[in-house]
Structure 1
């Protein structure tokens, strides 16, 4: 699905709308899978960014140190409204859920022996895995459209899952390779335009 519509400009959300959207995601996304929720909210529902922009931001967010979803919130916020948007994205994804997490931690300490609570948490975790898988499949489909990104993706998979090489070493090798390939592709596209 391509949300890039050349005939009508994309909406520019207010800073309050950015904070509210990220707060909603942070407060309703239990057990992980936040990048999947972000894609649904910002690409499919609100159309604030395109799928291609989102997946590029996700790849960038995962290559930086720190929490991936906070990095992604900063990137999306910056893309939408610059530095203030980045701040609202980061604050929205972190602050409201932090207060809820503190309250839930206190409650969980009282209910830690409850079998029902453990079953509910396992169900929430399974749903989060499904959302993450959906985002991963979309990214893989996009990469599989061209031979070089497909080759990089395949080599990364082989290095991590079959050869069981350390993640840091694989990222240290594949990230510069991927960036170099993207840079050459952009340079070539710019020269032909």
Structure 2
């Protein structure tokens, strides 16, 4: 019996999915939400496709989650899907940020406000760590990809070299070697 693939969402559905994600999550954990939504729950793409898209989104200039929304939208709905996904992840969240910043200005003097923000930051870090571990699990267990991963970590986190140059050099080297291996 053949396995049926789910019907891709319409541009309006993509807008609503990304609006919900953008309004209910924040910080570095958005990639984790996208992984759960499109790979694990809706099964609209494979984990490998998602991680490939995440790599592209992180390599491009701009906000990773916005790049990822455009990439997912395009993959699932073409140009209209990309536009709808971009609008969904940006516009509702931007409006909410304006409202929250107005409220925060009024509540900044209360200690509970700072405690709540610290707790939210911890949750976002946990989601980012989860996404990083998922991606690291998928790195081929060969010496070269692991060396590139380790060298990038050392260069950015420990030596504090500029991210742009580290990504350009390590990324170019990694792409060239992967390409030459076929």
Give the TM-score normalised by the residue count of structure 2. 0.93
Q: Distance in 2 between matches of 1:182 and 1:76?
A: 24
Total equivalences in the alignment: 181
Report Cα offsets for 1:75-100 as digits up to 9, x if no partner.
Answer: 11011111111111110000011111
Deviation >4 Å, runs of 4+: none
Q: In the alignment, which residue of structure 2 is the partner of 1:40?
A: 36
Give the TM-score normalised by the residue count of structure 1. 0.88
What is the CA distance between 1:121 and its match in structure 2? 1.0
Q: 1:175 aligns with which of 158, 162, 171?
A: 171
Q: In the alignment, which residue of structure 2 is the partner of 1:50?
A: 46
Which ranges of structure 2 fall in alignment gaps of 5 or more residues? Answer: none
Which ranges of structure 1 fall in alignment gaps of 5 or more residues? Answer: 1-5, 189-193
Indicate yes or no: 2:10 matched with 1:14.
yes
Q: Distance in 2 between matches of 1:181 and 1:21?
A: 37
Indicate yes or no: 2:100 matched with 1:100.
no
Give me the CA root mean square deviation: 1.6
Q: In the alignment, which residue of structure 2 is the partner of 1:29?
A: 25
SS of aligned partner of 2:9: coil
Q: Distance in 2 between matches of 1:21 and 1:145?
A: 34
SS of aligned partner of 2:26: coil
Q: Distance in 1 between matches of 2:168 and 2:95?
A: 36
CA 1:30–1:158 in structure 2 vs 1: closer, same or farther (change >3 Å)? closer
